[in-house]
Structure 1
Amino acid sequence: MGHQMPMDDSSAAAMCSMNMSFNMETKNLCVLFDFWRINTTGELLGSVFLIALLCVGFEKFKQYLRIYQRRLIKSSSSSLNDSDKLSINNTDKLIRTGLYCTNILYSFIIMLIFMTYNGYLIFSILLGSGIGYYLFNSEVIDDKTIACH
């Protein structure tokens, strides 16, 4: 028994295929939105490229976050109080909060693409993440474990 959502013939063309197990489907596959539908080999290759690029961009964004954090630490280290906690001004807090929320949004978008359970899209996530990690993470000690955010 398959794990696809049941559809009657009249709605099959309008609805995206939604697998609940790993698959290699290349027809009627929606990625995130109904308008991002894969039906041809060209659309699949384009989507694989875009998703890999998205993941490379995510690794670049995480590099920017690390650089921004270091800058905050460096500029705030002179204002250490008795409890040895860094204090930052409200503007920097707002910027930091916005970057954190963007990081979460970015990671959840990648997670939702992974949850299509499509092997080609999963491969593109792994490929893009690997390339991005290689290009933008030159630190020996990585303080983050693998997680959505």
Structure 2
Amino acid sequence: MNHHISNDMDMDMNKGPFMWMWFHTKPQDTVLFSTWNITSAGTMVWACILVAIAGVVLELIKFTRRLIQKRQPASKKASYLSRLFSTMHFVQTFLFFVQLGFSYCLMLIFMTFSIWLGLAVVFGLAIGFLIFGGKSE
């Protein structure tokens, strides 16, 4: 009995997400979720736009956290516990949580090894820094 399966059948049997392990330019990627598949140049363009927007949003979150921090009164009289459980500290903590989530998602998107998605990450972060990254003294 012949148990050899052809390469074509191997591809049909393994319909899992596709991952590259080297930098490439082909629009064939699975991004973050098994349902987010890039299969054409058109879907790659939309994915790059979404990724770039996510980079800008990440810089906006960082900017918002800096603004909140600046507006906090530098009161050393308040106890550590009162500062720890203040509303603004909870807002800061939530924004930090979202910032970390966005950061790791963008890192994982870069790790698809798609040159286009990697450029979208860098471009989005650079545009976000251009808009929100300057020191506001």
Task: Name the counterpart of 1:102.
Answer: 98
Map of 1:49-68 to 2, 5 A cutoff?
49-68=49-68
Structure 2: stretches of 5+ with no match in the other structure: 1-8
Task: Name the counterpart of 1:20.
Answer: 21
Distance in 2 between residues matched to 1:59 and 1:96, nearest whole Å: 15
Q: Identity of counterpart residues, as a percentage?
A: 29
1:70 shift after superposition: 1.0
CA contact (8 A) 2:63 2:132 kept: yes
Higher helix share: 2
Map of 1:1-149 to 2, 5 A cutoff?
8-12=10-14, 14-27=15-28, 29-72=29-72, 74=73, 77=74, 79-81=75-77, 88=83, 90=85, 91-139=87-135
More contact order relative to length (CA 8 Å, sep ≥ 6): 2
Distance in 1 between residues matched to 2:136 and 2:98, nearest whole Å: 25
1:41 shift after superposition: 1.1
TM-score for both structures, normalised by structure 1: 0.76
Q: Which has the larger radius of gyration?
A: 2
- Change beyond 3 A, Cα 1:20–1:96: same
* Runs of 4+ deviating beyond 4 Å: none
